[in-house]
């Protein structure tokens, strides 16, 4: 498994976004090499981990990488925040990174690129082939809403509270190939769909398949793209531990010949919307019953289902500890709102995010 994380750059005085990503990436690359790069907007820095089999080793690298980028930004007089959306800033086109690909994207997708300063956390799990990747995707599609709820970290957009826990999820749902992936009948079904998207100019290339779960187009992995940029390193580790156990559990079901649960696409979409709106704080749609239940209860049910895989890989204690910590302190969207409520100041939200981005996440607080 491995991860890709995206951070936003902010000025520590004004707390506004900073378009100096190229300078920060050049600075950070002295320590991180090719594991740090630019993204589509000049507000963003992207990092990736090495492949790991140990969740503990993965956790160590996630934390050290965040610290390295934070130091590089500080040397440029800037700070990084791991927030899935900008808190401050004006609606409108962000400054795009130079290059023909980004220019082509702007020409093709137009105003959709105005919202590309949204940031995500992508988890990759190694798979032997496309057929296996698609089967795992089929088995794990129903859990996408819960992954949205666990990682929701984008209540603010351009200076206002959207009322959502994950506004980024709503933004990404506007793209032509986004949201939960379809149930794939076979690799040829997948390839036929992709060929159709390419032939009709729906995507520029395979990297434009923005499904929440997709086979990677450049490495032998299944990529989970559903999560907001996570507030803390601990949250990334929790997400990776859950995804790793989900993939292992799905593989066991595939080998046992168990069919994947196929919720109605309309209900799966509705469950994703509900999870994006309420996050961990409210009720989510239980797709197995079609009824509402507490999101935290559903996470406990998920972890119970994953327990054999968590125990087998030695990840049970760490994952349960991180989940207990997150549940006790409240979701990260709540944490951003709590920071605002203290003085009614959005700059306090930025300061809160600067702190949590490079902390383990123990000091998170509920709104009062």
The answer to whether 11 and 73 have CB atoms below 8 angstroms apart is: no
Q: Please, are residues 234 and 358 in contact by the beta-carbon 8 Å criterion? A: no
User: What are the beta bridge partners of residue 221?
Assistant: 126
What percent of the chain is predicted at pLDDT more than 90? 85
SS3 letters across 259-321: CCCCCCHHHHHHHHHHHHHHCCCCEEEECCCCEEEEHHHHHHHHHHHHHHHHHHCCCHHHHHH
pLDDT-based confidence at residue 106 (cuts at 50, 70, 90): confident
**What is the pLDDT averaged over residues 250-266?**
97
357: CB partners within 8 A, 6+ apart: 7, 66, 70, 80, 81, 82, 231, 232
Domains of the chain plus CATH, in order, are: 90-357 (3.30.590.20)
Alpha carbons 80 and 44: distance in angstroms, whole number: 9
What are the pLDDT digits (tens) for 288-326? 999 999 999 999 999 999 999 999 999 999 999 999 999
- Tell me the average pLDDT across 93-121: 83
Statement: residue 272 has pLDDT above 90: yes
Output DSSP code: residue 159.
Answer: T
Q: Which whole number is the average pLDDT over 59-64?
A: 98
Q: Distance (Å, rounded) from C-alpha 138 to C-alpha 295?
A: 22
Name which residue leads in pLDDT, 240 or 103: 240
- Residue 282's contacts (CB-CB under 8 Å, 6 or more residues apart) are 274, 294, 295
Q: How much is the pLDDT for 355? A: 97
The predicted structure's pLDDT at residue 104: 83
Listed range (94-98, 172-176, 283-287) with the worst mean pLDDT: 94-98
Report pTM.
0.95
Residue range 128-168, pLDDT digits in tens: 999 999 999 999 999 999 999 999 999 999 899 999 999 99
pLDDT of residue 365: 39
* pLDDT value for 366: 37
Q: According to the model, what pLDDT value does residue 360 have?
A: 59
Segment 246-262 shows an average pLDDT of 97
Q: Is the pLDDT of residue 367 over 80?
A: no
Q: What is the pLDDT of residue 91?
A: 66
Tokens of 241: 């531990």
- The tens digit of pLDDT for each residue in 332-366 reads 999 999 999 999 999 999 999 999 999 855 444 33
DSSP calls for 111-140: GGGGGTT--EEEEEEE-SSHHHHHHHHHHH
Tell me what the mean pLDDT of segment 111-126 comes to.
Answer: 90
């Amino acid at each position: 498994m491995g991860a890709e994380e995206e951070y936003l750059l902010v000025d520590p005085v004004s707390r506004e976004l900073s378009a100096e990503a190229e300078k920060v990436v050049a600075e950070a690359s002295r320590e991180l090499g090719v594991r740090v790069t630019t993204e589509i907007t000049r507000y963003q820095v992207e990092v990736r981990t090495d492949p790991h089999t140990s969740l503990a080793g993965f956790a160590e690298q996630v934390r050290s990488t965040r610290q390295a980028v934070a130091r590089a930004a500080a040397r440029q007089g800037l700070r990084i925040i791991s927030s899935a959306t900008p808190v401050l800033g004006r609606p409108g086109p962000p400054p795009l990174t130079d290059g023909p690909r980004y220019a082509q994207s702007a020409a093709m997708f137009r105003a959709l690129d105005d919202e590309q300063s949204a940031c995500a956390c992508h988890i990759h799990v190694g798979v032997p082939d496309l057929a296996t990747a698609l089967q795992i995707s089929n088995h794990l599609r129903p859990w996408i809403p819960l992954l949205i709820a666990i990682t929701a970290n984008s209540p603010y957009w351009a200076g206002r509270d959207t009322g959502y826990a994950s506004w980024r999820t709503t933004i990404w749902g506007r793209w032509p190939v986004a949201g939960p992936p379809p149930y794939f009948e076979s690799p040829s079904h997948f390839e036929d769909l992709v060929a159709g998207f390419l032939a009709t100019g729906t995507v520029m290339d395979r990297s434009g398949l923005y499904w929440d779960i997709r086979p990677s187009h450049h490495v032998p992995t299944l990529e989970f793209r559903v999560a907001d940029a996570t507030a803390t390193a601990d949250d990334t580790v929790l997400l990776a531990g859950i995804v790793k156990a989900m993939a292992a559990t799905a593989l066991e079901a595939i080998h046992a010949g168990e069919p994947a649960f196929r919720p109605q696409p309309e209900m799966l979409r509705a469950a994703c919307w509900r999870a994006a709106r309420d996050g961990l704080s409210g009720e989510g749609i239980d797709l197995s019953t079609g009824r509402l239940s507490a999101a935290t209860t559903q996470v406990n049910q998920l972890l119970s289902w994953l327990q054999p895989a968590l125990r087998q890989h030695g990840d049970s204690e760490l994952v349960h500890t991180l989940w207990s910590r997150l549940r006790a302190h409240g979701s990260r969207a709540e944490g951003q709102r709590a920071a605002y409520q203290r003085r009614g100041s959005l700059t306090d939200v930025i300061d809160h995010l600067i702190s949590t981005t490079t902390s383990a996440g123990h000091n998170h607080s509920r709104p009062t």
